[in-house]
Amino acid sequence: MESFWLCEECLQAVAHDDFSALSLYYSEAEIEQRIAHLRTELQALMPLSADFDLQNGAGIESFSTRACEGCQSPLHGARHRFTRL
């Protein structure tokens, strides 16, 4: 199975179809563009299944320097592992 490491924005988009956190970082015009970009990039990875455990931290990198494999963001931060079904 193929695994992907996704950022917090992609995690919320995949798990909950939630883009509300984008308003903290982007203007109104940028939000619409970012949502369209996230949907396009994540659709190419589907179908995905969460492959991390919040209880023991397996499949979670609390700080990573790798780019998100969903949206391709180079920003550093937490990454969560997902597996393509």
pLDDT digits (tens, 9 = 90+) for 34-51: 999 999 999 999 999 999
Please name the amino acid found at residue 11: L
Cα 67 from Cα 28, distance rounded (Å): 24
pTM given for the model:
0.86
Residue 65 makes CB contacts below 8 A (sequence gap 6+) with 76
Give CA 68 to chain center in angstroms: 7
pLDDT digits (tens, 9 = 90+) for 5-38: 999 999 999 989 999 988 888 899 899 999 999 9
Residue 66 has a pLDDT of 95
Residue 21 has a pLDDT of 87
Q: Residue 61: which pLDDT band, with cuts at 50, 70 and 90?
A: very high
Residue from 5, 3, 9 nearest 80 by CA: 5
Residue from 6, 16, 18 nearest 73 by CA: 6
The position carrying tokens 């490491």 is 5
Residue 24 has a pLDDT of 87
